Amino acid sequence: MTLKPKKLLVVAWGNLSRGDDALGPLCVSALQTRLPKAWLDQVEFLDDYQLQVEHALDLLGRDALLFIDASLSCNAPFCVSSPQAQRDTSYTSHALSVPALLQVFGDLQGHPAAPATLLAIRGEAFELGQPISPAAQIHLAEATAWALTWVESLLAQEPADA
pLDDT reported for residue 38: 85
Instruction: Note the pLDDT tens digit of each residue in 116-133.
Output: 999 999 999 999 999 999
Every domain of the chain and the residues it spans? 8-156
Kindly indicate the confidence band of residue 162, based on its pLDDT and cuts at 50, 70 and 90: very low
Question: Is there a contact between 13 and 51 (Cβ–Cβ < 8 Å)?
Answer: yes
pLDDT reported for residue 93: 52
Instruction: Note the pLDDT tens digit of each residue in 34-82.
Output: 998 888 889 999 999 999 989 999 999 999 999 999 999 999 999 999 9
Give yes or no for residue 12 having a pLDDT over 70: yes
Question: Is there a contact between 126 and 136 (Cβ–Cβ < 8 Å)?
Answer: no
Task: Determine the Cα–Cα distance for residues 107 and 118; give it in Å rounded to an integer.
Answer: 21
Task: Determine the Cα–Cα distance for residues 25 and 32; give it in Å rounded to an integer.
Answer: 11
What is the CATH code for 8-156?
3.40.50.1450
Total residue length of the chain: 162
Is the whole-model pTM more than 0.85? yes
CA distances, 90 to each of 71, 95, 143 (Å): 16, 7, 25
Percent with pLDDT over 90 in the chain: 79
Task: Determine the Cα–Cα distance for residues 49 and 62; give it in Å rounded to an integer.
Answer: 22
